[in-house]
Structure 1
Amino acid sequence: MDIKTASALHRLRLVSVPEALSFPALLIFGSLLSRISDIDYLLLPLGLLHAFLFMVYAVLLLDVWYKAKWPFKKVVLFFVLAVVPLGGLYGDKLLKREEADSVVAARAREAAQA
C-alpha cells in the first residue's frame, strides 16, 4: 500500500465514528424528542445529517476499495458495520489497524528504494 491508500483509509476513519454515532445520537434522540414534546421540526434535519454522513461514508468506502484493492467481502463487512448501530466504532478500530499497516509498509518501501 502507498501513502494515497493510507490517506484514503484515514478519511474513511474520520467519517466512520461520526456516522456510527449519528444513528443513536441524532435519530433516536430526535424521535424521542418528537414523541415527548411538540418539537417535530428537528427530526428532518437530524435525519438528513445522518443520511449525509452515511452517503459520505459509502463514497469513501468505495474510494478505499478502489485504492486498497480490498476483496469484496471486506467492503461488505465495512458496509454492514456502517448499517448496524454503533458498528462503525468497531469498523474504526479495524481501519486504524489497516491505516497503521499501510503507513509502515509505505515507509519501508521508501526506505528500501533510497
Structure 2
Amino acid sequence: MTGPEHTKAMVAAIRVDVQVVQLAAPVLIRRAIAHYNARLAPGKRPAETTSSEVFLKRLCVNWLRHTGSNYDAHRNGVRTSGGQRLSDTAGTVIKKRMLVEIARVYPWLADEARRQYRELDQPSRH
C-alpha cells in the first residue's frame, strides 16, 4: 500500500512521541501483576510476586506498553487513518519504538523488550 494515507501514517508512526512512566521496580511489578490478574481468563493461574522472573518481566513490559505509556492511543490513532495492513505496519513501527524506549528507561527489562522486538520480525507461528 502506498499513497498519501500510507505516507502520513508511517511518518506519524516514526515521529510520534513514545514515553513510558518511570516507576520503582516493586511498584511496576505490583501494578503489572494487578493488571494481568484483573484480565485473567477463567482457569488461568494468577500472577504473584513469587511467579517466575521471566514471566514477571513479560508482564511489566506489557503493562508499560499498554497502561504505562501512550502506545495504545498512538496505535489506535494510526488505525483510524488507513486499512488493516497499513494499521499493522505503522502499529509495528510504534510498538518497536516503544520497546526500545522501555529497554532504555528500564535496563532490567531490556532482555524482555528485545525478545518482544525480535518476535515482531519473525513470521507468525500460528
TM-score class, shorter-chain normalisation, is 0.3 to 0.5
Give the number of the structure with larger relative contact order, counting CA–CA contacts within 8 Å between residues 6 or more apart: 1
Q: TM-score, normalised by structure 1?
A: 0.36
Q: TM-score, normalised by structure 2?
A: 0.33
Larger Rg: 1
